[in-house]
Amino acid sequence: MSTMAVARLELRRLAVRPLAWALAALTIAWLAWTFILGLGQFLGAQVKLAAVADAPGFTDLVAIPLLAELAKLAFLVVPLMTMTQLAGERRGGTLALLASTGLSPRHIVIGKYLAVLVWLGLWLLATVAMPLVVGAESTADWGKLASATLGTALLLATLAAIGIACSAATSFPAIAAAMALIVTLILWTIDRGAQAAGVTGGFLEWLTMATHLQNLLRGLVVTSDLVWFALAIALSLALAIRRLGADRERQ
């Protein structure tokens, strides 16, 4: 009940914030342009593709690249969406006011996280609607598209949790956004050194976010990938809750 009250309040604030609308409009326009370009190229190459056995289809050449483009945009968009969630509240004095309503740090963090998830869910839905509409009239690989959508949804949920944790760590929204971007980039490329040295597999590769997303984008739903995303989300939210709880001690 309390968590939902926080989520409703936060959704209302997101709905009237120009940043949320501007980000949604600009990114969906960009993704629509990317989709139209991809679709045009796919239609132009259909004659050649028809001659190739097991040639990639609409899902591989149009739908999944579109979701990969969304994932790239999310690196920037999600930190911008989450940066004010707690840092802005703390700076404006409203975080203490929220705490004085008897809400626990867990209620505040989870409520805000849910609100961001709703926004990101709608963003993902608007993007997936493009290949869904075209796919309904062609021969889309629905299983692969579902796996890729799941992977993108988990990526967005993880980035949101990281963004909330970074927002909990500071009173400056810009610093929170920068921190979230850096943490995400580190998680994305942490095994780059090992790869350069020719080492594959192992803990560093497991730790890398890209490893887990790429499997899902290829249509592979593996339990260890799902566990990785769940752990990353749980750890980030736990850190945010802990930091918010410390506010009552440290301020």
Partner 1 sequence: MSAAPLLNVEGVSRRRAGRAAVVDVSFSLNAGEVMGLLGVNGAGKSTSLAMLAGALRPDAGSIRLRGEDFVAQPGLARQLIGWLPENAPSWPELSVEEHLVAFSRLRGANRPAARRAADAIVERLRLGDLRRRLAGVLSQGQRQRLGLACALVHEPALIILDEPANALDPVQVGELRRLIRERAAAGAAVILSTHVLAEVLAVCDRVAVLHEGRLRHDAPLRGDEGAAALEATFFAIATGAAA
For partner 1, give the closer residue by CB, 99 or 130.
99
**Is the CB of 104 or the CB of 171 nearer to partner 1?**
104
Closest distance to partner 1 from the beta carbon of 17 (Å):
6
Q: Does 129 bind partner 1 (CB under 8 A)?
A: no
- Span interacting with partner 1, options 12-20, 132-140, 142-150, 153-161, rule CB under 8 A: 12-20
**b/e burial code for range 120-135 (CB count within 10 A of at least 16 → b):** beebbeebbebbeebb
Residue 9 binds to partner 1 (criterion: CB under 8 A): yes
For partner 1, the closer of residues 10 and 69 by Cβ is 10
- DSSP per-residue letters across 189-212: HTTHHHHHTT--SHHHHHH-HHHH
Phi/psi for 54 (5° steps) reads 55, 35
Least separation in angstroms between CB 109 and partner 1: 15
Count of residues that interact with partner 1, criterion CB under 8 A: 25
Looking at residues 49 to 108 of the shown chain, list those that interact with partner 1 (rule: CB under 8 A).
92-94, 96-104
The interface region with partner 1, picked from 11-19, 26-34, 50-58, 163-171 by CB under 8 A, is 11-19
- Does 17 sit near partner 1 (CB under 8 A)? yes
- How many other C-beta atoms lie within 10 A of the C-beta of residue 229? 21
Nearest to 217 by CA among 68, 31, 78: 68
Cα distances from 238 to residues 106, 168, 175, 186, 231, in angstroms, run: 8, 11, 20, 20, 10
Task: Supply the minimum distance, in Å, between the C-beta of residue 197 and partner 1.
Answer: 47
- Our CB check for partner 1 shows the closer of 23 and 209 to be 23
Q: Which DSSP helix (H) or strand (E) runs through 75?
A: helix 64-92
81, 163 Cβ separation under 8 angstroms = yes
Q: Is 12 in the site for partner 1 (CB under 8 A)?
A: yes
Nearest distance in Å: CB 248, partner 1: 4
Cβ proximity to partner 1, 103 vs 204, nearer residue: 103
Is 9 within 8 Å of 108 (Cβ atoms)? no
Residues 206-245, interacting with partner 1 (CB under 8 A) = none
Task: Find out whether 166 and 67 touch, Cβ atoms under 8 Å.
Answer: no
| Phi, psi angle pair for 170, to nearest 5° | -145, 170
Minimum Å gap between C-beta 212 and partner 1 is: 36
CB of 251 to partner 1, least distance (A): 6
Contact 120, 78 (CB under 8 A): yes
How far is residue 24's CA from residue 82's CA, in Å, rounded to a whole number? 14
Footprint of partner 1 on this chain (CB under 8 A)? 1-2, 5-6, 8-9, 12-13, 16-17, 92-94, 96-104, 248-249, 251
